[in-house]
């Protein structure tokens, strides 16, 4: 599995696993944890979650999945913007740690920008880092101007998690280059557009050539860039396996040109989209 090196020098797998919509129903919890464990067995050992998902339920599912194998896993979680204050951040982190049943979160992100000043959130993140409760901090859904402002507050941002897939290429115009130039890894969320990729077009044609479906092609396309991490969410075992294949699929120049024709890159700045 290809890795992406964080600014601190640690390498994480380029292909991880998401957990949005997990932990919402008790009768699905076992299957969700099993899917995550299947992904861990296949090397997708970066797991993304958030206090928001399933109202804490997704963190509990992650807790089930990583029980007994914590050291293999790079756990990412996120704090709600309304909790991103000096006092709110450590309290939210403690609740997350409890649900995850672990003593540290590897990467803790501000889920999106809210009313609390970035400087205050960063100060709280740094305090958590000093206390060993989190190992790195980062942000999510921050556009280029927000990243500029964050850089002004101080360094240390280990990732920006943003919406990025073949149908959502706006970030290629300015945000991806900004992050590359400032050594901030990008984590692509909804990398297969929540399963809504158009059928019967370029992705299917390319998939046929490689013996995979359009979702695996789209995921391989996100992973074509060395500094980008992708975190697809999958509960069905066949989806977990198909996603793992994407990490080994190398798209040809012809494939990439076809994708550019079907999903053109941006020609001007587009505001960062969010799901």
Nearest distance in Å: CB 204, ligand NAP: 12
- Among residues 104, 77, 74, the alpha carbon closest in space to that of 11 is found at 74
| Residue recorded with tokens 């993304």 | 48
CA–CA separation, 24 and 35 (whole Å): 15
CA distance 233 to 19: 6
**Complex with ligand NAP: residue 102 or 190, whichever CB lies closer:** 190
Considering the complex, state which of residue 28 and residue 70 has its C-beta at the smaller distance from ligand NAP.
Answer: 28
CA separation for the pair 133, 249 (Å, rounded): 36
- Min separation Cβ 37 and ligand NAP, Å: 14
Nearer to ligand NAP, 97 or 188 (CB): 188
Token reading at 59 = 């963190």
Closer residue to ligand NAP, CB minimum distance, 88 or 232: 232
What is the rounded CA–CA span in Å between residue 258 and residue 239? 24
Residue (54 or 90) nearer to ligand NAP, CB: 54
Q: How far is the CB of 55 from ligand NAP (least distance, A)?
A: 15
Q: Which is nearer to ligand NAP, 171 or 234 (CB)?
A: 234
* Smallest distance, ligand NAP to C-beta of residue 230, A: 8
Instruction: Please report which residue ranges of the chain form alpha helices under DSSP H.
Output: 29-41, 57-66, 88-100, 118-130, 144-153, 175-181, 202-210, 214-222, 237-246, 253-262
In this structure, the number of other CB atoms found within 10 A of the CB of residue 160 comes to 28
Contact by Cβ (8 Å): 199, 214: yes
Residue 234: half-sphere exposure toward Cβ, Cα within 13 Å: 27
31's CB contacts (< 8 A; 6+ apart) are: 235
Q: How far is Cα 39 from Cα 232, in angstroms, rounded to an integer?
A: 11
* 265 DSSP assignment: P
CB of 5 to ligand NAP, least distance (A): 21
> In the bound complex, what is the minimum distance in angstroms from residue 130's beta carbon to ligand NAP?
25
Residue facing ligand NAP at closest CB distance: 18
Q: How far is the CB of 13 from ligand NAP (least distance, A)?
A: 15
Q: Which residues bind ligand NAP (CB under 6 A)?
A: 18-20, 48, 111, 140-141, 161, 189-195, 215, 231-236, 239, 242-243, 275
Residue with smaller CB distance to ligand NAP, 96 or 267: 96
Place of tokens 């089930």: 64
């Amino acid at each position: 599995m290809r890795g992406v090196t964080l600014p601190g020098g640690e390498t994480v797998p380029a292909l991880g696993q998401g957990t949005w919509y997990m932990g919402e129903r008790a009768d699905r919890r076992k299957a969700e944890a099993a899917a995550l464990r299947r992904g861990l067995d296949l090397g997708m050992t970066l797991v993304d979650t958030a206090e928001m998902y399933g109202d804490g339920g997704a963190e509990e599912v992650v807790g089930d999945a990583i029980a007994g194998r914590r050291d293999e896993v790079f756990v990412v979680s996120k704090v709600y913007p309304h909790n991103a204050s000096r006092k709110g951040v450590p309290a939210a982190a403690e609740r997350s740690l409890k649900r995850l049943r672990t003593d540290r979160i590897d990467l803790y992100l501000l889920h999106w920008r809210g009313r609390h000043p970035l400087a205050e959130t960063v100060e709280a993140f740094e305090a958590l880092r000093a206390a060993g409760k989190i190992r790195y901090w980062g942000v999510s859904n921050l556009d280029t101007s927000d990243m500029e402002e964050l850089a002004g507050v101080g360094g240390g941002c280990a990732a920006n998690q943003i919406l990025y897939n073949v149908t959502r290429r706006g970030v290629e115009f300015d945000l991806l280059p900004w992050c590359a130039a400032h050594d901030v890894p990008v984590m692509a969320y909804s990398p297969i557009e929540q399963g809504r990729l158009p059928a019967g077009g370029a992705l299917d044609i390319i998939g046929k050539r490689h013996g995979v479906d359009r979702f695996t092609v789209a995921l391989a396309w996100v992973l074509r860039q060395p500094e980008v991490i992708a975190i697809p969410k999958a509960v069905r075992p066949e989806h977990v396996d198909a996603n793992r294949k994407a990490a080994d699929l190398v798209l040809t120049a012809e494939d990439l040109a076809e994708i550019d024709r079907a999903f053109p890159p941006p020609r001007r700045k587009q505001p960062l989209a969010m799901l």
